[in-house]
Chain A
């Protein structure tokens, strides 16, 4: 099963490589990894998407917790949560296709954020599956470039991941 693990980690040089190294050394699957600063400058927040059986996910969370730099983590898949990913797609557009791309972007609640005589850049956020659906809906020959941030997520309700 797919799991989104959200990690608060010390904002120290090398902390990221400890996490990445753990996954490669132990042969765990890693689909995406995003890192950014938090409101507390001493902490970074990492969101990691991985896949595995329950046993493997249990080992992954235990091994992550064992890293001295990891302060706290949650497996978002364990409770209700919201997942979002940002995507930008550069699309080759002929005159006839422009209208179609615009309406497709509308349907998916995307925005056109750059226009040239021959291209559009569409920006879109949503769960990864929605972004996949948009890509699938566009003629693949017209796609010049796809840039995705990898998903991040947050739990629903009052509870949150903080110190």
Chain B
């Protein structure tokens, strides 16, 4: 088969089984768009801003486990994509981003719409390529997918100069079945000796805890994690990125850990004697102040990326490998061995944990006259029977979604954790809905975040991707306001916008349905109505208690056992902002 460069790119996407490509055209990619026009296998989704393309592809990838694919033009198209690339990079999401580039002969001449895309994205991609020879194009595409999806996943940029896609230049096309890169051989199984040591340590633990993260979801190891926890009977805590990797409604689950984690999870971490970290990377939102982190624990760490191990917290037993095979190896040893975890020790450990649970750190005022954001999420959970895909933006609403919607399945909680990118939620929801048209998809967002990619409402209409937007509207950049209240004596510097648009009209202008809800008793019926409108995007603008804060919280510089709880005695009620 003889193909030109543009056809090679599109054909290689077909050969990779790519279903959707999220993009935006421009001069440098016109040949590619012409090739897209002449085929039907790969469906192109025209977004309204390149950032939206990256987040939509990212949402698609997080929900399906398949790589998300993006196509942008050179220059401004490429730079607009950078935020989304960095977002995927920080959360280890597999993506392939194809960017147009000016023709090879003019690279370096400050040509029209030229930017050094390879240079700009270098620090926020797993790898990137500039294609300089059409004969290497197919192989480069294969390498891009291979690197993006193996080992610790991540985004890969392929920068394609316009002359490489020239329709007049055709070459024989053959897509490589396999590629190998001599300098890239990610570990799969773990070192047997290390695994044995880890299992021995686990079996002597008195106060153990399983701290699992996004790596379990990325590595499709929820089943193994669950079995592992069941065999041992240990408590499980998850990072923000790991939610759903272990069923949140299971009694062994003690909630999320870290800055806005539960009291019981953080106390258990602090008091534990053995921690097994599984596909988690000891982020500073999790550890708090490092010298106070888990002072009594010996730590086992399973991670496919050696650089994640002992990066911030020194561990006793490192295991480099993928979660799934390593947990399988461990389970096998646990089942073959005679030794069992100490029943007595675990019993008293669970007694202790139950006392921490009794603090009920997630309680909030249920008798308020105002709409409490936590209540909205609880109702969302009930109306969707806990089965929806929930995307979120960044801020207080993100924390409430994480805290009050117990995810039982992996890949259902879709949020930007590492970069914390406002604007992620809506385009991500569109990507998820395209992947799973028959599932409910809701985007929990805030009045600030939603305005960062609101233009994608138009994309949702064009491609019939009906999502439900749950806008927890507190008329504040609430997360910022909360920090200003706690640490800047309530000097609310620029955390308030006094010209918030009429979201109902805005939704309608985009061809959707808008609803405003301002009474607690209207929340449930509105949600039910919205989800009953199966084929419509509905924007629920929910006016929530503007003063509400996210609790519990580990404030800056504090240890896990020094959390700030909502109240010491009783639950605070509605208050005026200072």
Contact B127 A71 (CB under 8 A): no
Judged by a CB distance under 8 angstroms, whether B310 is at the interface is yes
Q: A59-B311, A62-B306 are in contact. Are A17 and B126 (CB under 8 A)?
A: no
Residues of B within 8 A of A55 (CB): 310, 314
A-B contact count (CB 8 A): 36
Interchain CA distance A117-B569 in the complex, whole Å: 90
Contact A14 B127 (CB under 8 A): no
Interchain CA distance A65-B311 in the complex, whole Å: 14
Q: Which of B306-361 contact A (CB under 8 A)?
A: 306-307, 310-311, 314
Judged by a CB distance under 8 angstroms, whether A109 is at the interface is no
Contact B147 A21 (CB under 8 A): no
Q: A59-B307, A59-B311, A63-B307 are in contact. Are A68 and B123 (CB under 8 A)?
A: no
Residues of B within 8 A of A70 (CB): 183
Residues of A within 8 A of B310 (CB): 55, 58
Q: Which of B117-136 contact A (CB under 8 A)?
A: 118-119, 122-123, 126-127, 130
Contact B307 A14 (CB under 8 A): no
A92 → chain B closest CB, angstroms: 41
Judged by a CB distance under 8 angstroms, whether B181 is at the interface is yes
Q: Which of B174-222 contact A (CB under 8 A)?
A: 181-184
- Chain A contact-residue range equals 20 to 34
B512 → chain A closest CB, angstroms: 41
Judged by a CB distance under 8 angstroms, whether B378 is at the interface is no
Contact B183 A69 (CB under 8 A): yes
Identify the closest chain B residue to A60 (Cβ).
Answer: B307
Selected contact of B130 from candidates A14, A58, A62, CB within 8 Å: A14
Residues of B within 8 A of A21 (CB): 122-123
B143 → chain A closest CB, angstroms: 9
Q: A17-B122, A68-B126 are in contact. Are A10 and B307 (CB under 8 A)?
A: no
Judged by a CB distance under 8 angstroms, whether B305 is at the interface is yes
Interchain CA distance A62-B181 in the complex, whole Å: 18
Q: A25-B123, A68-B127 are in contact. Are A62 and B307 (CB under 8 A)?
A: yes
Judged by a CB distance under 8 angstroms, whether A51 is at the interface is no
Q: Which of A26-53 contact B (CB under 8 A)?
A: none
Judged by a CB distance under 8 angstroms, whether A130 is at the interface is no
B220 → chain A closest CB, angstroms: 22
Contact B147 A66 (CB under 8 A): no
Residues of B within 8 A of A59 (CB): 307, 311
Interchain CA distance A34-B130 in the complex, whole Å: 24
Judged by a CB distance under 8 angstroms, whether A163 is at the interface is yes
Residues of A within 8 A of B122 (CB): 14, 17-18, 21
Contact A71 B182 (CB under 8 A): yes
Q: Which of B259-287 contact A (CB under 8 A)?
A: none
Q: A59-B311, A62-B307 are in contact. Are A17 and B183 (CB under 8 A)?
A: no
B452 → chain A closest CB, angstroms: 25
Selected contact of B183 from candidates A10, A14, A25, A63, CB within 8 Å: A10
Interchain CA distance A63-B123 in the complex, whole Å: 12
**Contact residues of B with A, CB < 8 Å?**
118-119, 122-123, 126-127, 130, 147, 181-184, 305-307, 310-311, 314
**Contact residues of A with B, CB < 8 Å?**
10, 13-14, 17-18, 21, 25, 55, 58-59, 62-63, 65-66, 68-72, 163
